[in-house]
Amino acid sequence: MMGLDMFLFKKKKEVIGIDIGSSSVKVVQLKEHKGSLQLLNVGILPLPPEAIVDNTLMDSSAIATVIKILVASLGIKIKDVVCSISGNSVIIRKIVLPAMAQEELEDQISWEAEQYIPFDINDVNMDFQILSPDSYDPSKMNVLLVASKKDIINDYVAVFSESGLHLAVVDVDSFAVQNAFEANHDYNFEDILALVNIGASVMNINIVKGGITLFTRDVQMGGNLYTEEIQKQLGLSSEDAEIGKLLAGESHNEALRTVIIKVNETITQEIRRSLDFYNSTASEDRISGIFVSGGCTKVYKLIDTVSEKIGLPVGKLDPFAKLKYNEKDFDPAYLQALGPLMAVPVGLALRKVGDK
């Protein structure tokens, strides 16, 4: 498990996972019960279109209000929050360092990391995870370095505090998706899988093997691209373009479908570029499958295009697959519809404060 544990507690506490996506805020609360995970709460509330632009929290009071209403409407009493960042807000690098113990690296990480981070080291929050000894040179080890500018993290701290909550842990979208995947799907530890989460403005690509990240990249592209293209090509307002996108499966508007299929190809090409990059640099085996999540996986024919053009089996990540819940509390059909959008918040809710 990975994350920027800047505000670490000594004791493990109950937390809620809150995903501030650019199109909506999502909340999930889980509980461990007799070795299985129970779903206690799940909810989503849209954000105004300009509240988040280019990963920046532009309208923090609007965001705080949405969080407050969402948490209150679910009757959640817990104050400690795990959230995540992605895209331009975070730098993730796999680096090779001389082999050393965890504690030793904790002392040295700022110094070691300096050359990989394009900002003053005093302006960033950093975390790392030792992955494995280097396969060519056992005196070296692979380390995953995660860094974010302090002012970005401070924006999140402020938004949650304005909502009456306390930000306890900052994770990264692609790692949250990975945790949601691992908790809900059985997979072969030898398989190399690409986890692709396609949201409204960012696409998180995380190539994993047996619980370890081999490669990760965020691409600034997502569902907004469909809306923009529909708006431009069909001369619609952005509201009508958004509705057109959601209803394309049921409509027989050929012009609309043509635009969507074109964007499906653009997005697929971008995924393919990352997978090809990984395949061309990796010493490990090839990628054997893709699991997708994010609201865009509901776009008309996107999944078909990805599997056809990339030539790999594509599965849907189901973040509720192994969660226990009472059908009186949660309608299974509602959860199924919501599932694609909930990979990140489920992954966040899986973390306990104090985890590392």
Ligand X SMILES: Nc1ncnc2c1ncn2[C@@H]1O[C@H](COP(=O)(O)OP(=O)(O)OP(=O)(O)O)[C@@H](O)[C@H]1O
> Which chain residues interact with ligand X by CB under 6 A?
21-24, 199-202, 222-224, 242, 245-246, 294-296, 298-299, 341
* Cβ closest to ligand X, residue 141 vs residue 314: 314
Q: How many helices (H) and strands (E) does the chain have?
A: 10, 15
Closest distance of CB 53 from ligand X, Å? 10
Residue 87 found at the interface with Mg ion (CB under 5 A) = no
Burial degree of 49 (CB within 10 A; 0-12, 13-18, 19+): middle
* Cβ closest to ligand X, residue 44 vs residue 141: 44
The site map against Mg ion for 184-203 (x = CB under 5 A) is: ---------------x----
Out of 1, 15, 18, 21, the residue judged to bind Mg ion by CB under 5 A: 21
353 binds, among ligand X, Mg ion, none (CB under 5 to 8 A by kind): none
* Cβ closest to Mg ion, residue 19 vs residue 127: 19
Burial degree of 295 (CB within 10 A; 0-12, 13-18, 19+): buried
Q: What share of the chain is helix, strand, coil (3-state, %, to 5)?
A: 40, 30, 30
* Cβ closest to ligand X, residue 104 vs residue 304: 304
352 binds, among ligand X, Mg ion, none (CB under 5 to 8 A by kind): none
* Cβ closest to Mg ion, residue 21 vs residue 244: 21
Closest distance of CB 21 from Mg ion, Å? 4
Q: Kindly provide the residue ranges of all beta strands, DSSP E only, lying in the chain, ordered along the sequence.
A: 16-20, 24-33, 36-46, 52-53, 56-57, 80-85, 91-98, 124-133, 140-149, 166-172, 192-198, 203-209, 212-219, 289-293, 314-316
Closest distance of CB 337 from ligand X, Å? 8
* Cβ closest to ligand X, residue 199 vs residue 319: 199
Closest distance of CB 215 from Mg ion, Å? 20
Tokens of 237: 């307002």
Closest distance of CB 240 from ligand X, Å? 13
Helices (H), ranges, 164-222: 173-184
* Cβ closest to ligand X, residue 30 vs residue 230: 230
* Cβ closest to ligand X, residue 141 vs residue 227: 227
> In whole angstroms, what separates CA 93 from the centre of its chain?
17
In DSSP terms, 315 is beta-bridged to 291
* Cβ closest to Mg ion, residue 44 vs residue 113: 44
125 binds, among Mg ion, ligand X, none (CB under 5 to 8 A by kind): none
23 binds, among Mg ion, ligand X, none (CB under 5 to 8 A by kind): ligand X
Contact at 8 Å (CB) between 301 and 264? Answer: yes
How far apart, in whole angstroms, are the C-alpha atoms of residue 304 and residue 188?
A: 24
How far apart, in whole angstroms, are the C-alpha atoms of residue 309 and residue 257?
A: 18
Closest distance of CB 102 from Mg ion, Å? 31
The site map against Mg ion for 198-237 (x = CB under 5 A) is: -x--------------------------------------
How far apart, in whole angstroms, are the C-alpha atoms of residue 130 and residue 143?
A: 4
225 binds, among ligand X, Mg ion, none (CB under 5 to 8 A by kind): none
Tokens of 46: 């849209």
296 binds, among ligand X, Mg ion, none (CB under 5 to 8 A by kind): ligand X
Nearest to 291 by CA among 133, 138, 210, 182: 182
Q: Largest alpha-carbon pair distance within the chain?
A: 62
Nearest to 294 by CA among 228, 195, 226: 195
Closest distance of CB 299 from ligand X, Å? 4
Closest distance of CB 304 from ligand X, Å? 14
Closest distance of CB 68 from Mg ion, Å? 20
Q: Interface with Mg ion by CB under 5 A: which residues? A: 21, 199
